Chains A and B, each alone.
Chain A
Amino acid sequence: MAAEELPSQFDVVILGTGLTESVIAAALSRVGQNVLHLDRRNYYAGNWASFTFNGLLSWIEEYKNQQEVQITESEQVWRSLIDEGEDVVPLSSVDSSISNLEVFCYASEEEEKEEEAKGLLTSCQPMNAETVSEETAGDSTVTGDDATAADATTQNEEHKFSEPKEEQHTSDISEPSQSQEEKDSQPISSPADPPVEVEKKITYQKLVKEGRRFNIDLVSKLMYSRGALVDLLIKSNVSRYAEFKNIGRILTCRNGKVEQVPCSRADVFASKQLTVVEKRMLMKFLTFCLDFEQHPEEYKDYIEKPFRDFLKNKKLTENLQDFILHSIAMVTQQTLTEEGLKATQHFLRCLGRYGNTPFLFPLYGLGEIPQCFCRMCAVFGGIYCLRHSVQCLVVDKASNKVKAVIDTRGQKISCSHFVVEDSYIRDEQRRSTVYRQISRAVLITDRSVLPSESDQQISLVTIPPLESSAPAVRMVELCSSSMTCMPGTYLVHLTCSSSGTAQEDLAPVVSELFHVSTIPGEEPSEGAEERSKPAVLWVMYFNMRDTSALDSSSYSLPSNVHVCTGPDGSLGSDCSIKLAESVFQHILPDEEFCPPAPNPEDIIYDGDGPQAEGHGFEESVNTEAEEEGAAHEKSPSTESSEPAEMDSVTQQAPSDTTPSTEE
C-alpha cells in the first residue's frame, strides 16, 4: 500500500534518536534539509530514554530476551536492490550497549488493604499522553508528544517566576496540556501533601500501580545552567517544549555522613559546619577561580601538578579541599591544576543563573530533551518512524560514499548523508572493540538521604571514592515534584565510570547510604542506626557502554557516514552537543547551527493571508503526510494557539498517536 512507503529520497537519513542524533536532526531540518529520522526501538531517545516504572520493566524484559534470541539475517531481501557499482555495509540489528543488568526488589510484595479506600492516587489519570505513546505507539510519530510540549514559555522566564514558589511550583507549571480533569486532580497528589504517603509502607504493587508517575532515565545527567545544552535550548527556542526544575542543593558524603556542600554565597553564609575563617578562605578561593586566568602568577607553579596539591598550597583546610575537589570542580585526585580551575570556574559561572546551584533538571526526566529536538525537527518537516531501522548502507564503489540505505522493510532510500548512533555499527566496521563502561544504579527509596525543611528538592550528591582505588560516584536524588517518581518516594540515580560490573562498583555505596533489607518488606529494627537511612524499595544495576572517546578514526566507514557516540559518563551533556554541532558543520559548513525558531505568528504560509495561516499550513502538511504515509508534526501555529484551542488539540492527540503503521 502506498501509505506504507516512505519517500525514496532524503537529504539526510538519521538512525537513532539519542540526544546527539536528535539535535542534528533538528538543526538540519531547521535550515531546510529533508530529514528521515529512524529508531529501531519503539521509544524515543535510545539510551537517553526515560521510562515509566512499567515501561522500564518491559525494557528489562526485552533486554533479557535479547540475550537469548538469535538474530537471523535476511540478506536476500536487500541483495536484489543492489545495483552495479554498489557495495553494501550491513548494520547491526542488536544493541549490545547495555550489560550486566541486575534487578532487586525490597518492597513488600503483599497486597495493601486500605489502598482502595484511600483511592486518592489511583483515581488519577495517566500522567501524560507521551507515556501512552511510548508504550502503545509502534511505528509512531512525535505527534503524541505535543502533550508535554505545548507550553511556549521560555525556560528563562519560566524559572524566574516559578522558582520562589517551591512547593506549588511543579503543580503550577505541570502539564499545560492535561485535560481539565487531570489538572484538578493534580494538586491532590502533588507533593504539597505527602504526609499520608510517607507514613504508608510502599509495596511493590503500589509501585506498579503508580508506575506511570515514574520517569526513569537510563542516563543520569544534569544541565549546567551555562552549559552547551542550555545555551542551545535557549538559542534554538527548543526550550519552549520543556520545563525545568532547579537542583536545590549539593551534598557530599564524608565519613559516612551526608552533609550539604556550601557552594553559593548564601550557602557559605548559612553553613554551620564551616568556621568564619574557612568561610573567608573558601569565598576567597572561589572568587579567584572566577577569573583565574587574570592571575597566572597564583597557579603557574602548579600547572604540571595535580589540582589537589594546588588546593593544599592555598592553605585551604582539608574540609574545604574535599568540597572543592569532589563537589565543586568534581574532578579526581589526579586532575591537573588548570583543568581543576576550569571546572571550578564553570561551576561558579553557572551558579545563580536560575537558582542557588548551577544545575537544572528537565521535568519528566532527561528523556524529554532528545524528544524536544525531534519535535523541532518535525515542526520543520522531518519525518519520524520508530521501530524502523536500516539494514544496510549502499555505498557507491567509485566515490566510496553512501548513496542510499535499505530500511528494515526492504525499501531503498537514497540520501547524501547518513547519521547513525554508535550501537548500530557492527564490530567489522570498528578499529577497536574495547570500550569504556559506565556503571549505573537506579534506586527507588522511601525518603531523602538528608531530610530537610523541604522534601521536594533535587539533590546532587558527590561521593568521594570509598577506597582510594574505587571510582568517585555521582548520585542524583530526584523528588516527586520533578515528575520522575510517585509521591512519597525518591528516585535515586548513581553513576560512575566502571571498574567492574555496575553492581560491584555501586553496591558498596548503596549499602553505605541506604538501608538494604535482607527480606523484602522488612523494616529496620527500631532505634538501630539503619533506621536513619532511607530504605531501598527497588534497585536496578546495569553497565552502559561509553563510546564518547571514539571519533571518526575509530571506524572504517564512508566519509558521509557520521557516527554519534552514546551518552558519556560526565554530569553535563556538552560532549554530545559539541559532537552534534561538529557533525552538522561537516554536512552543512555554511549554515547556522540551530538558529532561533521564528515565533509562530511570524511564519508566512504560501498563498495564505495572515488570517488563514494556521489552517493553511496544517492542511498542506496533512495532505503531504497522507501521501507519504508518514505521520507528521503538528504545525507550529497550533502550538501557539490560545489555551482553549490547545485543549481541543490535546483531546485529538490520542487518535494521532495510534497510527495505522503499527506492525
Chain B
Amino acid sequence: MMHGRVKVKSTAQQEEEKRKEKEEKLKAFVTARDAVLKKRSAGEHDEEALQLTRQLLSSNPDFASLWNYRREVLLQLETSREKDEVQKLYESELHFIEACLKVNPKSYGCWHHRTWVNTRLSQPDWTRELGLCDRCLSLDERNFHCWDYRRVVVKESGVSVEQELQFTDRLIGSNFSNYSSWHYRSTLLPQLHPQPAPDSAPNTSPSPTTSPQAHSHRVCEEQLLKEYELAHNAFFTDPNDQSAWFYYRWLLGRAEREEMISCVYVSREGERVSVAFSKPVHAQSEGLMLVLDGQPQQVEWRSTHPRLRHSPVWLCDLPPGSISDISNEHNLTIHWTEKHTHRDCALYTGCAESWCRDSATDQELFRSELSVEKSSVLQAELQSCNQLLELEPQNKWCLLTIILLMRALDPLGHEKETLTHFQALKEVDPMRSSYYSDLCSKFLIENTILKMEYAEVRVFSLSNKNLTTLCHLDQLLFVTHINLSSNQLLRLPPQFAMLQCLEVLEADDNAIESLEGLYHLPKLEEVSLRNNQICKLSDLELLASCTKLTRLDLRGNPVHRTAHIESELSQLLPLVTALSL
C-alpha cells in the first residue's frame, strides 16, 4: 500500500460545495439588495445605508442605483458634518471605489462616482488620481473608461501638454498598437507645436480666390519630421499594424476645404439659377441671398433631387420675365451670409447662359484628401513607403498610403502606377476589393475632371474605366455630354440630377438597374442605356420629368420582355420620338 498519498475530494464533491457556496452568496445578496432598496424608498440616508450599499457594491460594482443612493446619502451627511469629517468621508469613498475598480475596472458606475466624489472635495488629490489612471492603463491600455476619466483629471489638474505628450511617448513605447495613445498624441501636438501662422495677413474679406484650404490643427514642420520618423519606426517594425498607419495619415494632413460658393450658373431658358457649394449644405438654413441687378430677390431654393436634403447644388427660379430678354445684360450675386462669402455672375447680352466659378485645379479640389504638406516632404515620405513596399510587396497599408501620397503629389502623372497598385490591393485584400474599386473610381473621376479643366470642354468621357461608383457630380454642373459606357455601374444615383446642363447621356454596357438620378434634367434630350439591367417599366417613370427627352435607347435590357412595353412607354414618355427597344 502506498502510504502518505494525499486523498483529494472528488470533482463532484468540489462542485457540490461550490454550488452551495454560490447559492448562499446569492441569497445573501438578494436579501441585502431588498433591504437597501426598501431603505431608499423610505428615504433613509444614514451610515447604515452606506454600509449596506458598500457590501453590495464590493461584489457587484455595476449596480448604478446603489451608487445613486450613495450619492444621496453622502449629500445628506455632508449637511450635518464638520468640514474635516466630510473630507474624511469622501476620502474613504475614494478608497472604496478603488477597491471596486479592482473587482471591475470597466464599471461605468465606479468611474462616474469617482468623478463625482472629486467634485465634492475642496482640494482633490489629482496626483493620486493620475497615478490611479496610470496603474489601470498599465493593466489594460485600452480601458476607455479610464481614458475618459483621465481626460477629466488632466483637465481639472492642469497637467501640462508637454507631460501628457511624454505620457503618450511612454505608452507608445511599450505598445505601439494602442491607437488610443496615438490619437491622444494627435490632439496634443497641435497645442504644443502649432504651425506658425502664415506670413500673409489674415484675410479680412475672404474672396473666392484665396486658398480654399484651411490650415487648422496643424503641427510645425520640425516636429512633424520627428513624428514621421516615429511612424516609420512603427510601420517598418510591424507593417500590418494599422494604428501607426492611421496616425501617419493624420500627420500627412487632412485639410478641410474652405467653405465657399464654388459655382453660379444662370440660364435664360427657364430663368433658372444653379448654385454649387464647396460642401453639401441645406440652403434654406444657410442664409442665402440672391441679388439681381442690385435688387434682392425672393426666391425658393430647392435641391436637385428630393432625396438630397443636404446637397452641394441648389436651384431656384427667378421671377418670370426677369432675365428672359436676351438683349438685356444682368448682374447676379449670391450671398452666403452665414459664411460671409459671395459670388457674382454676369449674364451678357446675346448669351443664353452664363456661369462663374474657379477653375477646379488639382491643388484645390482633390488634394484635400491627404495633404497640405510641402511636396518635398511628401516626396520623401513616398520614398520611404516605396522602400517599405520593396520589402513588403503584399502590404495593403503601404500600398494604400503610396496611392494617397501619389495623388497628393501628382494625380495625373502617377495615374498608371496608381492603377497597378489598386490592382495589387484588390488581390492582397480581397475582402475589401469593392472598397478599393469605389476608391479607384473616385480617383479616376477626379483625374478626368482635372483633364477636362485643362481642356475647358463641356464633354465628359468616363467610358471603359471599370467605374463602380459615381462621385464629384457637383463638379459637372455645366457638362452637356457625358459618356459612361462600358463600366460596372449599377445605378445613376440621385446626385446625377446635379448635371443641370446635360443634354446627352451615354451609359451603354453597364449593369444599371436604377435611374433615380434622371430627375428633372431640363436639357436632357438623348439617353442611351443599351445592355443594362433595367427590368421594370416603373424604373423608367422618372424619365417623364425630363421634359426635353426625345431619344431613348433601351436595347439589351430585360425590360423589353415586359408585355405591351412599346405602348406603355409611349404613354409614359409621349415626347420620345426615337425609341429603341
Contact = CB atoms under 8 A, between A and B. Distances in A.
Interface of A: 29, 31-34, 160-161, 164-165, 265-266, 268-270, 276-277, 279-281, 283-284, 380-381, 598, 602-606
Nearest to A270: B173
A280 B233 contact: no
A170 to B, nearest CB: 17
Interface stretch (B4-12, B41-49, B306-314, B573-581): B4-12
B4 A34 contact: yes
A427 B413 CA distance: 84
Interface stretch (B365-373, B384-392, B449-457, B560-568): B384-392
5 contacts: A270-B233, A277-B236, A281-B391, A381-B4, A605-B7
Contacts of A276: 232-233, 236, 384, 387-388
B157 interface: no
A269 B4 contact: no
Given A164-B135, A265-B237, A269-B234, A380 B174 contact: no
A602 B5 contact: no
A283 B238 contact: yes
B391 A604 contact: no
A160 B8 CA distance: 30
A266 B8 contact: no
A32 B3 contact: yes
Contacts of A164: 135, 138-139
B237 A280 contact: yes
Interface in B5-31: 5-9, 14
B338 to A, nearest CB: 47
A280 B138 contact: no
A164 B175 CA distance: 13
B176 interface: yes
A266 B233 contact: no
Nearest to B4: A381
A266 B3 contact: no
Contacts of A380: 4-6
Contact of B388 (A32, A165, A280, A605): A280
Contacts of A270: 173, 233
A277 B4 CA distance: 62
A161 B392 CA distance: 37
Contacts of B7: 603-606
B384 to A, nearest CB: 7
A32 B4 contact: yes
A34 B391 contact: no
A269 B176 contact: yes
A34 B1 CA distance: 11
Contacts of B135: 164-165
B233 A33 contact: no
Contacts of A381: 3-4
A32 B2 contact: yes
Nearest to B11: A602
Give the interface centre of A32, A269, A281, A284 by most chain B CB atoms within 10 Å: A269
A606 B392 CA distance: 67
Interface in B227-243: 232-234, 236-239
A31 B388 CA distance: 58
Given A269-B234, A276-B233, A33 B2 contact: yes
B348 to A, nearest CB: 60
Given A32-B4, A276-B387, A381-B4, 7 more contacts: A31-B5, A266-B175, A269-B176, A380-B6, A598-B6, A598-B9, A602-B14
A30 to B, nearest CB: 8
A262 to B, nearest CB: 9
A542 B2 CA distance: 44
Q: Which 4 A-B pairs have the closest CB atoms?
A: A32-B5, A32-B2, A381-B4, A164-B138
A598 B8 contact: yes
A452 to B, nearest CB: 13
Contacts of A266: 173-176
Nearest to B7: A604
A163 B139 CA distance: 9
Interface residues of B, number: 28
Interface in B387-441: 387-388, 391-392
B87 to A, nearest CB: 26
A381 B239 CA distance: 56
Nearest to B241: A265
Nearest to B239: A280
A34 B8 contact: no
A266 B387 CA distance: 22
Interface in B126-151: 135, 138-139
A165 B131 CA distance: 11
Nearest to B135: A164
A161 B173 CA distance: 20
A263 B454 CA distance: 54
Contact of B236 (A31, A279, A602): A279
A603 B3 contact: no
B40 to A, nearest CB: 34
Nearest to B236: A276
B4 A279 contact: no
Most A CB contacts (10 A, CB to CB) among B6, B174, B388 go to B6
A604 B232 CA distance: 61
A284 B8 contact: no
A279 B238 CA distance: 9
A280 B239 CA distance: 8
Nearest to A617: B6
A605 B6 CA distance: 8
Given A32-B2, A164-B138, A265-B237, A280 B176 contact: no
A268 B175 CA distance: 11
Contact of A277 (B5, B138, B176, B391): B391
A279 B232 CA distance: 10
Contacts of B3: 32, 34, 381
A542 B403 CA distance: 63
A598 B6 CA distance: 9
Nearest to A605: B7
Nearest to B175: A266
A602 B138 CA distance: 35
Nearest to B390: A277
B60 to A, nearest CB: 22
A531 B7 CA distance: 63
A269 B5 CA distance: 53
B443 to A, nearest CB: 28
A160 B135 CA distance: 12
Nearest to A382: B4
A603 B5 contact: no
Given A164-B135, A269-B176, A283 B5 contact: no
Interface string B483-508: 00000000000000000000000000
Contacts of A277: 236, 387, 391
A284 B6 contact: no
B128 to A, nearest CB: 15
B4 A280 contact: no
A423 B494 CA distance: 91
B3, B139, B233, B391 — most chain A CB neighbours (10 Å): B233
Nearest to A160: B139
Contacts of B237: 265, 268-269, 279-280, 283
Nearest to A283: B237
B2 A604 contact: no
Interface string B248-259: 000000000000
Contacts of B139: 160-161, 164
B167 to A, nearest CB: 14
Nearest to A604: B7
B9 A604 contact: yes
Contacts of A281: 391
A29 B384 CA distance: 63
A265 B236 CA distance: 11
A138 B118 CA distance: 59
A465 B238 CA distance: 32
A280 B391 contact: yes
Contacts of B8: 598, 602-604
A598 B388 CA distance: 54
Contacts of B9: 598, 602-604
